[in-house]
């Protein structure tokens, strides 16, 4: 049995028994991980949202409202008001699952890995179903300023809309650049994009 598997079982048993505090869990994690490349130990440091969502306990209405407010405050819209980039680049970003791993080149941009959770286009045969289908996203919703702002904000920080969402906070956590978010937005809204066929 691997060291990781043994640690996972020990943590699960300790948590189930109520014996492990957050400090105990973090101590075990710190002792079992080693930094490699860009995957450093600071990844184990949780912000307030991650801490609130990691307990496994249901959120109170007050806690959910705080997560929404805190994360809404992080959203940065494009200063020039331009929400859409190049859908072809957006498609590459959506279909790329690399970035931020220890083996990835930190000089290369991260991918969005969108297909892992969403269907993007009718022609796709392999896609995840954790998130809703995005097929015909712009065609069905239009491209009003309010829809563009909503979609930008959802990509930038999904926790502003749904506390403890499993969607990455792409902008807030600097996973995607502003230009990459523009390109993904174009993938979702451009009539020529495969998403809207």
Global pTM value: 0.85
- φ/ψ region of 113 (left if φ > 0, alpha if ψ in -120 to 50, else beta) reads left
3-state helix, strand, coil in the chain (%, to 5): 50, 0, 50
Query: What pLDDT score does 5 carry?
Result: 56
Query: What pLDDT score does 64 carry?
Result: 97
Fold classified for 87-196 = Cytochrome Bc1 Complex; Chain D, domain 2 (1.10.760)
Query: What pLDDT score does 15 carry?
Result: 58
Query: What pLDDT score does 9 carry?
Result: 59
Domain ranges of the chain: 3-54, 87-196
Query: What pLDDT score does 24 carry?
Result: 77
Name the phi and psi angles at 42, rounded to 5. -65, -15
Compute mean pLDDT per 10 residues along the chain, 197 residues long, and list them.
54 57 76 88 90 91 97 97 98 94 91 96 93 97 98 98 96 96 98 97
């Amino acid at each position: 049995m691997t060291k990781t598997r043994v640690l996972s079982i020990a943590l699960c048993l300790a948590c189930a028994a109520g014996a492990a505090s957050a400090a105990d869990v973090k101590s075990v994690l710190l002792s079992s991980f080693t930094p490699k490349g860009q995957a450093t130990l600071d990844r184990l440091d949780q912000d307030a949202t991650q801490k609130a969502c990691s307990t496994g306990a249901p959120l109170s209405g007050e806690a959910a409202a705080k997560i929404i407010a805190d994360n809404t405050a992080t959203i940065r819209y494009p200063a020039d008001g331009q929400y859409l980039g190049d859908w072809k680049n957006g498609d590459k970003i959506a279909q790329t699952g690399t970035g931020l791993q220890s083996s990835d080149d930190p000089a290369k941009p991260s991918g969005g890995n969108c297909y892992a959770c969403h269907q993007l286009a009718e022609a796709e045969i392999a896609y995840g179903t954790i998130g809703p289908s995005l097929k015909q996203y712009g065609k069905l919703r239009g491209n009003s300023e309010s829809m563009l702002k909503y979609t930008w904000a959802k990509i930038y920080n999904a926790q502003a809309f749904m506390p403890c969402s499993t969607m990455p906070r792409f902008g807030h956590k600097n996973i995607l650049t502003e230009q990459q978010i523009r390109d993904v937005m174009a993938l979702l809204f451009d009539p020529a994009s495969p998403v809207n066929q």
